[in-house]
Structure 1
Amino acid sequence: MKIKLDPVTRLEGHMKIEVEVDSSKEVIAAKSTGNMFRGFENILKGRDPRDAVHLTQRICGLCPVSHGIASVKALEMSRNFRPTGQARLLRNLIQGGNYVADHILHFYHLTLLDYIQGPNRSPWKTSYDTDMRFSKSASEEMFNNYLKALEIRRKAHEMVSLFAGKIPHVMSIMPGGVTKTPTASEISNYKRLLGEVKSFVDGQYHGDVQKLASVYKDYFQIGEGYRNFISFGVFELESSSNPNLLYRSGRYTEGQYMSVEPRRITEDIKYAWYEGKERAELKDDNTKPTLNKSNAYSWIKAPRYLDLPHEAGPLARAWINGDYRGGVSVMDRHVARMLETKKVANALSLWINELSSGEQEYDSNLHMGYSAGEGVGVTEAPRGALVHYIKYKSQKIENYQVVTPTCWNVSPKDNNDQMGPLEKALIGVQIQDVNNPIELMRIIHSYDPCTACAVHIMTPEGRIENKFIVSAPGL
């Protein structure tokens, strides 16, 4: 018997999951499909390299800051430049605020309704009524925090906008540093807003995750997937030539901790709707869409490191940094994300105190001179490992490639027929009610997938056209 979830709701983008269950209702096969064509690599060809900083932020309305930073780092690498001091602090404060807002969004607004009954009215009404374990009063209390989280997330965005100009799609992070000069008033406002956000994170968010983990203890044994993790590191802590990071780069592969080199990433397209080299290196261009490819079932490519699937995200960062190694499961992902939110909020409290008013660090020389170059920019988006690659000549982009966290987590099978991490995590799951497969939703949402950002449209005449969008909404 096959179960199809199409579309999977409460995530960014369009996604389909199809599983096959046996007579005992255990999942024995799974396919994860990204139903959106993200054509940004093609959009960027021929453009000024500096345009990439702003255009790539439109890849995602949830984590545009990380795309902007990865793009900026790629350009700075091509010019052998590394920002220090105020620029480092401002980038951390901007990206950290986006982390906190995104993690709160994920738990309360994208995941919580998998476990509690919301109000019996739109947009919270759900057909899922299977395995709801919280009492009515407990559900109401957690839903009140759901509503409070909307306000807190807005305040986290206000924090970001103080130094970034706006959110989503920030303006002040540019090659050469940060163009914003913070004022004493803005620093004071950031501290005030952070205090409110941090209080919610340490109180309600922490408490609600603990409640969820206590009531749904069995989900510490569900949704394991591969026990391979990858992280590129994020949040620079000092201005040396080899800075420390709040979250270091590395990987955990087949039981061993090792270093990671982005240029060793490959992307397989055997089961993706693209043509070109079936196994491409980061510098290769294999983003030409083809709709009638046999056996293909996703617009998402299959990134691999040394031919192996790896999970990315808060649990990967926590595992590699030794912050949390309780296990690999649905509930471990939620716990790791909550602990990361607390850690980042604490770090923001330190960084904002180091920031000086009236000072700017921006090298305007990096605004000119993009005659020829090549660079790789890496960072961690809230969902995990993110890399941007750029090659340009005569002030025009020749090749641009992006490997997002969801490509790591929600990929289709690769050239060796190895399933993606999410597909693997669905195998062996027992479904209680095939008409209400809530177990599948809980596993999917634990990865926080984001499958935006360019849509394919069927015209009234029946022709399929690829229509690119410039901005993706946050929800």
Structure 2
Amino acid sequence: MATITVIDPVTRLEGHLKIKVAVDTVNGVQQVVDAWATGTLFRGFESILINRHPADAQHITQRICGVCPVSHGLAAVMALDQAYGITAPANARIMRNLVLGANMVDSHILHFYHLALPDFINGPDMPPWQPSWQVDKGRFSAGQTSTLVSHYVSALDMRRKAQEMGAIFGGRLPHPPTYIPGGFTTRPTSAMISQFKTYLSEITAFIENTYIPDALLLASLYDDYKGVGGGYGNLLAYGVFDLDAAGTNKLLRRGRTINASPDVQPVDVNAISEQVKYSWYNDRTDNLNPAVGVTTPQYPKNSRSLMRLMKANPQNLSLFGAYSWMKAPRYEGLPYETGALARMWVNGDYKAGVSVMDRHLARAYETLKVAEALLAWVNQINVNGSVAVSGRVPETASAIGLTEAPRGALGHWLQITDGKISRYQIITPTCWNASPRDAAGIRGPIEQALIGTPVQDVNQPIEVVRVIHSFDPCLSCAVHVMRPGEGKKIFTLHHSHGVEESHDHEHGHDHVH
């Protein structure tokens, strides 16, 4: 009989995520046979935007997340540009790219060294490395471990410099106020350009000489993880970093592929829907395209009798009701993975495979690709050129802003009525990746990627955490305040570097925000 293991919360990610896995022995190997991903936080940013001035969107949506706020600001102004019928001048397009690129470089360095790497090495016997779960012995030598720990510290400095680099044009990071409909508020100077290039030179050297070699070392010593965490292989990218005024050409192009096919297909935004059968939202909002989507929370959604049946039969999917604050985005009814691997695959830059290690390697290579592009873009700035054009708020309009956050495809759907926001829907990368099951019972990408993951110790399932972290989840972006319920449950608290503790709490109280 399968053992049910719960990791709640999963740490070293942004937001609140619970993972439940069923572990059983198959063909002599103890492995994950089923999985459930639960977003345990409701925020309601989409509802906050209703009846506000459209220009508020880029400021409010950036507060969804402090790790990847720039992409939300960009998606919002892209939608507003479309709604207003205006095109940002070249300088604005370039500076939008520069600030987003700095944020992406920062985020990727953060992910590898500070969020994912501790899953694979035994750090010093001191906080924040201790207490921890025991990782595989003998893979890294003592010298290699010492070097990686020193790079962990160096990466903190590189992250700071990437933030400061982005703030040169963004005004501040996180939450730059400089993204506006029709352009950018910063007037560039030669001094700004020079300072940006100084930062970029040091950061690029770190990527080339430290980050990529470390990622390659990890992949060589954990070569078996090129066969773990594959999932469906359905990859989706909206494209990012416009190279022309129309946004037709991008550094990383738009596209999708099914089952890790080398063939890239176009993206039709009308084929996207959000399902809520297993989410805490009213069923009347099920299977809607985000252009007409509605966010109506309903918690609790399941009757108490159903909840009791679920607890008694945790693997009987026919009894399973809502279990997440995340909706289930689908493209033509299929789940899709998004992120650096999807972008690099669609762009033709990386097609070695889909797995835990492939995600880490694709992210490292993408970091260098973006850094090299930043140098080309900053050299294109015209200090005497315009930075913005004016536009009038339309009485009625519908628009879409599609871009890429560090973690994957990000879409903002906007509707304006009587000059105010009347509808705003957001689908984030982690909403795609960590989605629950859909109406057909099809698992979300992370849930599917966990299937078949070998687990040596069900009490310390570090292998499960490695798969989860490879997606770099951001739950504050993905979820749309849980209330106290009844009954008791045992939850596992997974500290910053891995120790687990079992706590007996009233169900729901540990998730009230």
User: What range describes the TM-score normalised by the shorter chain of this pair?
Assistant: over 0.9
CA drift of 1:356 comes to 2.2
Equivalences for 1:148-297 in 2 at 5 Å? 148-239=154-245, 241=246, 243-254=248-259, 255=261, 256-275=263-282, 276-294=284-302, 295-297=321-323
Letter in structure 2 aligned against 1:287: T
**2:67 is matched with which residue?**
62
Question: For residues 464 and 440 of structure 1, what CA distance do their matches in structure 2 show?
Answer: 24
In the alignment, structure 1 residue 50 sits paired with structure 2 residue 55 = yes
Q: Deviations over 1:335-389 (max 9, x none)?
A: 00000000000001111111122433201x22x4332211000001110000000
Q: CA deviation at 1:60?
A: 1.0
CA distance in 2, matches of 1:439, 1:79: 49
Partner of 1:307: 333
Amino acid paired to 1:280: L
SS class of match (1:121)? coil
What residue number does 2:21 align with?
19
Measured against aligned partners, the alpha-carbon deviations of 1:224-250 in whole angstroms (never above 9, x if no partner) come to 0011111111111123x4531101101
Q: Which contiguous aligned blocks of 4+ residues in structure 1 show a shift greater than 3 angstroms?
A: 457-465
Counterpart Cα distance in 2 of 1:265 and 1:459: 33
User: Residue in 1 aligned with 2:461?
Assistant: 437
Contact 1:182 1:357 in 2 (8 A): yes
* Cα deviation, residue 444, structure 1: 0.3
Give the whole-Å Cα distance in 2 for the aligned partners of 1:6 and 1:459.
Answer: 16
Contact 2:240–2:251 (CA<8 Å) still a contact in 1? Answer: yes
Report what 2:314 is aligned to.
none
The CA RMSD measured in Å over matched residues stands at 2.0
| Structure 1 SS opposite 2:476 | coil
Match of 2:433 in 1: 409
The one of 321, 337, 349 aligned to 1:323: 349
Note the C-alpha offset of 1:286.
2.9
- 1:394-451 per-residue CA deviation (whole Å, 9 max, x = no partner) reads 2221110000000111100011111001000101111111111111011000000010
* Equivalent in the alignment of 1:399: 423
SS in structure 2 of the partner of residue 153 of structure 1: helix
Gaps of 5+ in 2: 303-320, 487-505
Any idea what SS the aligned residue of 1:145 has? helix
Partners of 1:81 and 1:264 lie apart in 2 by: 26
Question: 2:273 & 2:334 partners in 1: Cα distance?
Answer: 10
C-alpha contact (below 8 Å) 2:43/2:481 kept by paired residues? no
Structure-2 separation of matches of 1:107 and 1:307? 32
Instruction: Spell out the pairing of 1:331-346 with structure 2 (5 A cutoff).
Output: 331-346=357-372
2: distance between equivalents of 1:377 and 1:384? 14
Q: Is the contact between residue 240 and residue 403 of structure 2 (CA under 8 Å) also seen in structure 1? A: yes
Pairing 1:85-104 to 2, within 5 Å after superposition: 85-104=90-109
Which region of structure 1 is more displaced relative to structure 2, 425-434 or 256-265? 256-265
Name the TM-score, length of structure 1 as normaliser: 0.94
Q: Distance in 1 between matches of 2:23 and 2:248?
A: 49
Counterpart-to-counterpart distance in 1, 2:60 and 2:512: 12
User: 1:472 maps to what in 2?
Assistant: none
1:11–1:242 CA distance, 2 compared to 1 (3 A)? closer
Distance 1:147 1:332 in 2: 24
- State the alpha-carbon separation in 2 of the partners of residues 357 and 80 from structure 1: 25
SS at match of 1:235: strand
Shift, 1:121, TM fit = 1.8
Q: Does 1:81 align with 2:86?
A: yes
> 2:216 & 2:367 partners in 1: Cα distance?
14
**CA apart distance, 1:88:** 1.2
CA distance in 1, matches of 2:378, 2:269: 31
Distance 2:193 2:512 in 1: 38
1:456·1:464 contact (CA, 8 Å) conserved in 2? no
CA distance in 2, matches of 1:389, 1:438: 38
Percentage of matched positions with identical amino acids? 46
Q: Is the 8 A contact 2:485 2:508 kept in 1?
A: no
What secondary structure, in the 3-state scheme, does the structure 2 residue paired with 1:22 have? strand
Tell me which amino acid in the other structure corresponds to 1:192. Answer: T
Task: Give the distance between the partners of 2:507 and 2:217, measured in 1 at CA.
Answer: 50
- Equivalent in the alignment of 2:76: 71
